[in-house]
Structure 1
Amino acid sequence: MELDILLQHYFGTTDLTTLDDAGFEHGVEKLGTAFGVEKEPGRRFALWSLLHALGDAPDPAVAFKDPAARRAAEDYAHAADRAAYRAENS
């Protein structure tokens, strides 16, 4: 899954800064719905990762029943949060 394709599909643009609040929320809602119905594990993880980057992902313990997928999501979230913290404090 390519980020630009996901952004264009769910938000109608690849530049989220061009969206007003309603447009952004609508895109996040569409993305969340897609995550909720997706069955393929790789696509599901990609959608969850984008939701996480946008600040709207469900907790990994709720989002993933499979222990390996849950652990991968927890690891990803930890690494992303650590990277954001470092960027803010540089």
Structure 2
Amino acid sequence: MDLDDQMRRYFGTDQLATVPPEAIAAGIEHMRVDLGLERDRARRFALWTLLYMLDAAPALDAVFEEEADRDAARNLMDLSARMMPDAD
């Protein structure tokens, strides 16, 4: 799953800054529905990752049955936190 493809699928563009708030909310809702229906582990992880980047990801335990997937998600969360500038 390519990130730009996912952005175009759910928001109609790969430029999220141009998307109105209502369309962002609708795209997030669409992603959450797809996440609930998706059975492929890699696709579920990709959808969860995009939702995480949009601060809309469901809890790990609700999404990932496999401990390895939860660990990978935690690693992603840790890495992204390290890349964010300190708020101090």
Tell me whether the two structures share a fold, i.e. TM-score over 0.5. yes
SS in 2 for 1:70: helix
**Structure 2 equivalent of residue 72 of structure 1:** 72
Q: CA deviation at 1:83?
A: 1.4
Aligned counterparts, 1:10-89, within 5 A: 10-84=10-84, 87-88=85-86
Q: CA deviation at 1:60?
A: 1.3
CA–CA distance in structure 1, aligned partners of residues 55 and 15 of structure 2: 17
Any stretches of 5+ residues in structure 1 without a counterpart? none
Any stretches of 5+ residues in structure 2 without a counterpart? none
Moved over 3 A (4+): none
Q: CA deviation at 1:69?
A: 0.7
CA–CA distance in structure 2, aligned partners of residues 61 and 74 of structure 1: 11
> Residue type of the partner of 2:79?
A
CA–CA distance in structure 1, aligned partners of residues 39 and 63 of structure 2: 12
Which TM-score applies when normalising by structure 2? 0.90
Aligned residues: 88
Q: CA deviation at 1:62?
A: 2.2
| The 10-residue stretch of structure 1 (74-83 or 10-19) with the greater mean CA deviation from structure 2 | 74-83
Q: CA deviation at 1:82?
A: 2.1
CA–CA distance in structure 2, aligned partners of residues 88 and 17 of structure 1: 23
Which TM-score applies when normalising by structure 1? 0.88
Question: For the aligned residues, what is the CA RMSD?
Answer: 1.5
SS in 2 for 1:26: helix
Q: CA deviation at 1:88?
A: 4.6
